[in-house]
Structure 1
Amino acid sequence: MFRLGLHHLETLFWIDRLGSFAAAAERLNTTQSGISSRVRELEARLKTRVFQKEGRRMLLTLRGRDLVRRCEPLLQQVNGVLLSVTDEAYATGTVRLGLDEMAAAPRVFGFVHDVAADMPHLNWDLIVDAGAALRQKIADGVLDMGIVSGPLDAQELVAQPIGRTGLAWMASATYFAARQDRVSLHDGPIWALPRPSHHHLLTAGMLREAGLPPSGINACNHVQAIIDIVRAGAGIGMLPEHLVGEDLARGVLRRLDIEAAPHALELHVVRRRDEADPIVLRVFERASRRLRSASPDAVAVAANASPRVHVLSRP
C-alpha cells in the first residue's frame, strides 16, 4: 500500500502558501509535473480532494485546510529536530531574500558571504524590488525575509532595526557649473521614487517646506536610474549617500546647500510573524545581529558570494 511521506505534506504546505503548483515547484527545487504527481498520490491515499482550482490559484478544500492546519506544526517540528541534531553546515534549501533598492547592498552581500561560510549548502535567491512590494511578498510567504527601508506598521511582520542610511539632495557637477554654483530646489526638475514610497513622501514634504508644489515631482521606479539621471545633469534628487559615495568623493555629484534637518531612512530585517521554519529563523537571527553591527558602507561585496539576483520592473 502506498504510504505518505513528509515530502507530500511539505508539497501541500507550499502550494497552499504560494498559491500555485509552479511556485511550489520552484520553492521545492522540483518540476511542476513532480508537484502534480505528489498531489495525485496524496489525494489517492486520502481518497479525497485536497485542492480545487479557482482561476490561476489552487485553493485548499475544507479537508485540505484542516490537513495543513494540523500538519504544519509537525513539519516545522521535524525540521527543527533534524537541524538540531545535525551540524548547521549541512542545512540545505533556498533562502528567498528580498532587498529594498534603498537598502545598503554591500552590507547584505557581506552578510550572505558570512552565512555561506557556515551553511555552504544553502542557496540564495535575492529579489530586488520596491519596499512596499517586498513587504507584501514577505507577508504572503513568497519571500522568507527581507531588508527593507522606511517605517513599518504591518502587524503580520516581525522587524528588527539594523541601522539607517542617510539621504541628501544632490546634483551633478555639470548641473552646478551651468548655474554658476548656485543651485536650489527651485531649479529642478526633481526626481524621486513614485508614490506610495517613503522616498516620495519625504521628497514631497521637503518641497512643501521650500514653498514648491509636490505635484512637480518627476517619478522613476528604480533608485539606480534616478542616480543615473542626476549624475547626467538632468535634475536634482534626494539620493542615498551610501550608493553614491564614490561619485561624491570624485566630485561627480555634489550636495545642495539646503538649510534643513538631514534625513535618513530606517533599515529593517523583516520576516513573517508566524514563520516557523527553523532555517529561516536562524538566518533571520544572524541577519539581525550581523547587519546591525555593521556600518552602512563597512562591508565589501565578497567575491565568492554570488547569489542569484532578480531586479523586478514595476509599472
Structure 2
Amino acid sequence: MSTIRFLRTFIAAAHGGSFAAAAEQVALTQAAVGQQMRALEAELKTTLFDKTGRSMMLTPAGHLLLPRAVDLLAQYDAMRRDIQDQQPIAGNLKLGSLITGMGLLSTTLAELKFLHPSLEVELRVQDQSKLMEDVISGELDAALVVERQWPDKPGLLWTQCYVETLTVIANSSIASADVTISSLFSAYPFIRFDRRTPTGAHIDKIMRGMHLVPQDFLELNSILSIVELVRKNVGFTMVPLLKNFDWENDPNLCVLHLPGRPVARRLGILESGRRSHITGVVRDELLEQLQRMRSGGRTASGFSS
C-alpha cells in the first residue's frame, strides 16, 4: 500500500505548500517526504511539483492529481472501515511501550477496546532494548519504540508515528517565555538525561554545538523523573517534549524550544509480523489518534484527544 501512503503525503505537501509542512503533518522527515514524492513521480511518470528557490507550486499534472487523490483516499478509507466493521478484531494481543509512550498508547487502546470489545490486550512497559528484543523474537506482537537501525528480519515492520523535539524545561519560578537559554545554563544546576542512551548522547552533542556549558547536578535515566525534579525546582533540563504530557500548560514549568526545534527522537510502531492483521489496526488507530490530536478532535469512545 505504498502508493496510498505516498498519496497522503502528496496531499499534505500540496495543502501545506512545502515538504517541511508535509513532514510535520504526516510525521516523517523532510527527506522522507522528498523521497516519497520522487517515487510517486516516477510511478506516474510525471512531475508534480515545480520548485523555484524557496517556493513550491503544483505543476498542471499536480493540480490534476490533487482532487482525484483526495477522492481516492476518501473511498479507500471508507472501504477499509467497512471491511473492518465486517471483520471484528478479537483475540489476545501482546504490546509493549516505553513508559514515556504510555499516555498516548493507553488512550489509543481505550479507543480500540471501545471499537473491538473482544480484543484483549496485554501491555508491557519495558526499556528500549528489551522491547526491541521481544518484538524481534516474537514475544511481543508490536511495541511503541524509538527509531533505531532494525535488523533485516522477514515480516518486521517499522512505521514512524511522531517526533519529539528537544526543549529546555525549567521551573516557572526561574524562567519565563522571554528568558534566554544561555542564562539558565550560566545560573542554575542542570539535570542530564543519561548520556549512555542515544537520546542522551544526542542532547549532549546539541549542547556542545550551541556552546552551552551545564553546571551538572544529576544524571538520570528517566525523563519523567527528571521533569518531576524540575517541577520541584531542583534544577533545569534539556529533554524531548513528550507527547500527551501537556508540560507546556503546566503552571509549574516553563518550556523553551531550541532554535530550529531540532528533533530529539522519532517514535513509532515496530511490528513483529506475526499478527499483522491486528497490529495493523493498532498502528492505524494510533496514527488516527495523533491526527485527531493535531486537529483537536474527539475519539469515538468520547475521550477527548
Q: Shorter-chain TM-score category?
A: 0.5 to 0.7
Name 2:277's counterpart in structure 1: 282
1:247 and 1:100 mapped to 2: Cα distance? 18
Return the alpha-carbon distance in structure 2 between the equivalents of residues 90 and 184 of structure 1.
51
Mapping of residues 18-29 of structure 1, within 5 Å: none
User: Deviation digits for residues 20-47 of structure 1, max 9, x if unmatched?
Assistant: xxxxxxxxxxxxxxxxxxxxxxxxxxxx
The alpha-carbon distance between structure 1 residues 190 and 206, as it changes in their structure 2 partners (threshold 3 A), is: farther
Normalized against structure 1, the TM-score is what? Answer: 0.55
Aligned length: 211
Deviations 1:172-191 (A, max 9, x none): 112338xx956333445333
Aligned pairs for 1:203-282 within 5 A? 203-212=203-212, 216=216, 218-243=218-243, 246-256=246-256, 258-259=258-259, 261-272=261-272, 275-276=273-274, 280-282=275-277
Q: Deviations over 1:54-93 (max 9, x none)?
A: xxxxxxxxxxxxxxxxxxxxxxxxxxxxxxxxx7547322
Shift of 1:269: 0.4
Could you say what the CA RMSD is over the residues aligned between the two structures, in angstroms?
A: 3.6
User: In 2, are the aligned partners of 1:101 and 1:131 still within 8 Å (CA)?
Assistant: no
1:158 partnered with 2:153: no
Separation (CA, whole Å) in 1 of partners of 2:291 and 2:194: 24
Q: Distance in 1 between matches of 2:209 and 2:159?
A: 31
C-alpha distance in structure 1 between counterparts of 2:289 and 2:114, whole Å: 18
Gap regions ≥5 residues in structure 1: 1-86, 306-315
Residues 108, 289 of structure 2: 8 Å contact kept: no
**Partner SS state of residue 295, structure 1:** helix
Larger RCO (CA within 8 A; separation ≥ 6): 1
Q: Of 87, 96, 106, which aligns to 1:98?
A: 96
Relative to structure 2, which stretch is displaced further, 216-225 or 137-146?
216-225
Deviation at residue 296 of structure 1 after TM alignment: 7.4
Contact 2:164 2:266 in 1 (8 A): yes
Which structure 2 segments of 5+ residues have no match?
A: 1-85
Structure-2 residue corresponding to 1:133: 130
Once the two structures are TM-superposed, the CA of residue 195 in structure 1 deviates from its matched residue by 4.2
Task: Give the TM-score normalised by the residue count of structure 2.
Answer: 0.57
Q: Secondary structure at the match of 1:176?
A: coil
Cα 1:288–1:246, aligned 2, differ >3 Å: closer, same or farther? Answer: closer
Letter aligned with residue 99 of structure 2: E
| Secondary structure of the corresponding residue to residue 175 of structure 1 | coil
The answer to whether structure 1 residue 149 and structure 2 residue 130 are counterparts is: no
Structure-2 change in CA distance of 1:204 and 1:113 (3 Å): same
Q: Which has the larger radius of gyration?
A: 1
Query: In structure 2, do the counterparts of structure 1 residues 296 and 254 end up closer, same or farther at CA, with 3 Å as the change threshold?
Result: farther
Equivalent pair of 1:208/1:214 in contact (CA under 8 Å): no
What is the aligned partner in structure 2 of residue 184 from structure 1? 184
Q: Does the residue aligned with 2:199 lie in a helix, a strand or coil?
A: helix
Instruction: Report the identity percentage.
Output: 16
